Structure 1
């Protein structure tokens, strides 16, 4: 059963992927597996600790940086010691016109895997992308959450599983649970 925290994020982000034509893209994912079921031209994962995006972009053996049309990072950036550096490295890995999509939690319990370092709102993610070099007019961000979901995140069983019969999916901008953003490289 999917996590309550990701229902709306998944729906809206998958629509974003359709809008940008993900089916024709070479896609890389940093540590997660959110994109595994997307229909893409190609898909590859780079997992920590085999690759640490904070230390640099993914490179061929000759040192050349691998390039992609889309890079995904779902529920990863909150674990990074150097998220700004990592975002700059992602920028290096994007082809001109390429996209970077990331999603992060906002109101959830501490979860060290291996560490838990930061939280961002939709505005914070947009600012991170702009500071890393994405043009402000090429960044879209959003967030979702509500009081009931916030309370569910405090329950002993975490993360809360989505219950179609009971869970309220209305958005209350004052209680973000998750945020996501999509930036396009010039």
Structure 2
């Protein structure tokens, strides 16, 4: 595998380099995710999410690190959000850079709605101005307005949807040929003309 510094490495070396980077203040997180993660973490703190039963679709490293009442994964290809609905409901369902890869995102959104308890939340993070990346497919992009309408068609009340986005021209350019890291940057200005990442928090009535 390749680590943050673009060289092939095993997991042990990757973990060691990540620790060194953290010690010197170098942020190895993808720049496309930094602001979204910060804002969603802040929102989760505000809604006291540590008491939630959480499910993450195609789970990664980020959200399993938070304190939840319970944390469940729903991973493709064993489970397909476009057709599978678990036999239990959750307080929150998280999809972190997943929806752009789905062949049937509207169908999947309806399935998430069915998986939530009344008052539960769907957190969806997707890229917008980012290069094609078929893993295994790359199908869709949404602006904040487009995301709100996707969620409405999936059963969510648009009055209960909060959206956000972040990006700028430099971030768009930085991801043309590689997945840029946040690195030494501390100021991450937003230019609404260049949304790199879009996110939404939608509550089930």
Q: Same fold (TM over 0.5)?
A: yes
Q: Is this contact kept in 2: 1:32–1:76, CA < 8 A?
A: no
Q: What is the total number of aligned residue pairs between the two structures?
A: 177
Per-residue deviation, residues 83-123 of structure 1 (Å, max 9, x unmatched): 00000000111001100001000111111111000111111
The match for 2:164 among 133, 142, 153 is 142
Matches within 5 A, 1:27-66: 27-33=54-60, 34-58=62-86, 65-66=87-88
Q: 2: distance between equivalents of 1:108 and 1:138?
A: 27
Question: Which residue does the alignment assign to 2:48?
Answer: 21
Per-residue deviation, residues 109-138 of structure 1 (Å, max 9, x unmatched): 111111000111111111111111111111
Per-residue deviation, residues 42-83 of structure 1 (Å, max 9, x unmatched): 00111000000001312xxxxxx3100000000000000000
Report which of the two structures shows the higher radius of gyration computed on alpha carbons: 2
The match for 1:151 among 173, 184, 200 is 173
Question: Which residue does the alignment assign to 1:162?
Answer: 182
Q: Is this contact kept in 2: 1:4–1:149, CA < 8 A?
A: yes
Residue 32 of structure 1, CA deviation: 2.5
Structure 2: gaps of 5 or more residues: 1-27
The match for 1:11 among 23, 29, 38 is 38
Q: 2: distance between equivalents of 1:96 and 1:11?
A: 26
Residue 168 of structure 1, CA deviation: 5.0
Matches within 5 A, 1:169-180: 169-180=188-199
SS at match of 1:56: coil
TM-score between the two structures when normalised by the length of structure 2: 0.84
Question: 4+ residue stretches of structure 1 with deviation over 3 A?
Answer: none
TM-score between the two structures when normalised by the length of structure 1: 0.92
